[in-house]
C-alpha cells in the first residue's frame, strides 16, 4: 500500500526557516517524481514544486510564489523527500501535502502537515 | 484568482446529476494539456478522482466521469449520494507559468 507521511509542520515567525519531510513506503521511491501542494486555511489547492526522479535528472521546479525561497530535495536511500522553506511569510501558512506524481497528475497524497507563520 | 475557473458551488438532490466546469486558456487546457480532478472530503486530503480528462483510477465509481473539449473540461456526477458532498478541484499544466495549476475548487452540496 502506497503511503506518504509528512512531518515537520510547526508555528514559526516570519523570516524563519522550516524543513518538512515526506516519508514514503509501499512503492519503489526512486522511480517517481514527488510534488508538494499546499492549502491555506479555507482556501484552494496551490502547487508548490516538484522534484523529478534521478532517472529524469533529479531536477526540481517551483511555483513563482516560492521560487528562490523554497527548495525540494530527496534521499532515495531513505525514501524521504524534503521541502526546505526559507524566509517564510505569513502567506505561506497552509497545510502542506506531499504527493506522488503519476504523469501530470497526483495519484497519491499524504495526510498533510500544518505550517503556521505568525509573529 | 485561479488560472482555471470553476464555479464556487453547485448543488443537487440525491439521485440527480450535476456537472462542474473547469475553464482554462490557450496556455493550459487549450494547449492540449490534460485535465485531472480531485475530490476533497471535509477535513481530509484530496484524492484523485479522474485523470487524463476522463479516466477513473481503480476504486472510483463509474458515477463519476470527466470530459474535455478545447479550453474547457467538466466533471459529471450521476446518481448523487450524500457522501459525494465535498470540494472538487480540477488541475492541469500551464506552459507560460511552467508549472501545475489548480482550479479554485467547487463545493458540492447534496440537498
Taking only the tens place, the pLDDT of each residue in B31-53 is 999 999 999 999 999 999 999 99
- A58 in contact with chain B, both atoms CB, cutoff 8 A: no
- A47 in contact with chain B, both atoms CB, cutoff 8 A: yes
Q: What angle do CA A57, A61, A63 make, to 5 degrees?
A: 175
Average pLDDT over residues B60-82: 97
Average model confidence (pLDDT) for chain B?
97
Contact B45 A46 (CB under 8 A): no
Average pLDDT over residues B45-69: 97
- Which of B57, B89, B92 minimises the CB distance to A107? B57
Q: Which residue of B has its CA nearest to A36?
A: B100
Q: What pLDDT was estimated at residue B1?
A: 75
Report percent pLDDT > 90 for chain B: 97
**Residue B23's Cα: distance from chain center in Å?**
10
- A113 in contact with chain B, both atoms CB, cutoff 8 A: no
Q: What pLDDT was estimated at residue A103?
A: 87
Q: What pLDDT was estimated at residue B76?
A: 98
Stretches where chain A sits below pLDDT 70 are: none
* Three-state helix/strand/coil letters over chain A: CCEEEEECCCEECCCCCEEEEEEEECCCHHHCCEEEEEECCCCCEEEEEEECCHHHCCCEEECCCCCCCEEEEEECCCCEEEEEECCCCHHHCEEEEEEEEECCEEEEECCCEEEEECC
- Which of B51, B89, B100 minimises the CB distance to A44? B89
Q: What pLDDT was estimated at residue A24?
A: 98
Find which of A4, A34, A45, A107 to mutate to test the B interface (most B CBs within 10 Å of its CB). A45
- B105 in contact with chain A, both atoms CB, cutoff 8 A: yes
- Which of B93, B102, B105 minimises the CB distance to A104? B93
- B48 in contact with chain A, both atoms CB, cutoff 8 A: yes
Q: Which residues of A touch B95 (CB under 8 A)?
A: none
Q: Looking at the predicted structure, is the pLDDT value of residue B71 above 80?
A: yes
- A45 in contact with chain B, both atoms CB, cutoff 8 A: yes
pLDDT band at B2 (very low <50, low <70, confident <90, very high): confident
Q: What pLDDT was estimated at residue B77?
A: 98
Amino acid at each position: 500500500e502506497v503511503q506518504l507521511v509528512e512531518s515537520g509542520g510547526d508555528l514559526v515567525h516570519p523570516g524563519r526557516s522550516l524543513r518538512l519531510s515526506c516519508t514514503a513506503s509501499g512503492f519503489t521511491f526512486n522511480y517517481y517524481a514527488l510534488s508538494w501542494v499546499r492549502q491555506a486555511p479555507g482556501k484552494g489547492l496551490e502547487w508548490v514544486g516538484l522534484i523529478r526522479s534521478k532517472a529524469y535528472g533529479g531536477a526540481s521546479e517551483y511555483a513563482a510564489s516560492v521560487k528562490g525561497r523554497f527548495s525540494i530535495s530527496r534521499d532515495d536511500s531513505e525514501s524521504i523527500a524534503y521541502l526546505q522553506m526559507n524566509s517564510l511569510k505569513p502567506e505561506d501558512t497552509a497545510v502542506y501535502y506531499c504527493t506522488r506524481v503519476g504523469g501530470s497528475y497526483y495519484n497519491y497524497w499524504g495526510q498533510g502537515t500544518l505550517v503556521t507563520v505568525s509573529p | 484568482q485561479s488560472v482555471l475557473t470553476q464555479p464556487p458551488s453547485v448543488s443537487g438532490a440525491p439521485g440527480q446529476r450535476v456537472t462542474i466546469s473547469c475553464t482554462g486558456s490557450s496556455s493550459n487546457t487549450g494547449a492540449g494539456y490534460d485535465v485531472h480532478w480531485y475530490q476533497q472530503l471535509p477535513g481530509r486530503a484530496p484524492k484523485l478522482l479522474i485523470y487524463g480528462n476522463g479516466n477513473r483510477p481503480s476504486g472510483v465509481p463509474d458515477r463519476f466521469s470527466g470530459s474535455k473539449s478545447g479550453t474547457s473540461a467538466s466533471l459529471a456526477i450521476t446518481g448523487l449520494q450524500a457522501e459525494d458532498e465535498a470540494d472538487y478541484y480540477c488541475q492541469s499544466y500551464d506552459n507560460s507559468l511552467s508549472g501545475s495549476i489548480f482550479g479554485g475548487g467547487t463545493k458540492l452540496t447534496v440537498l
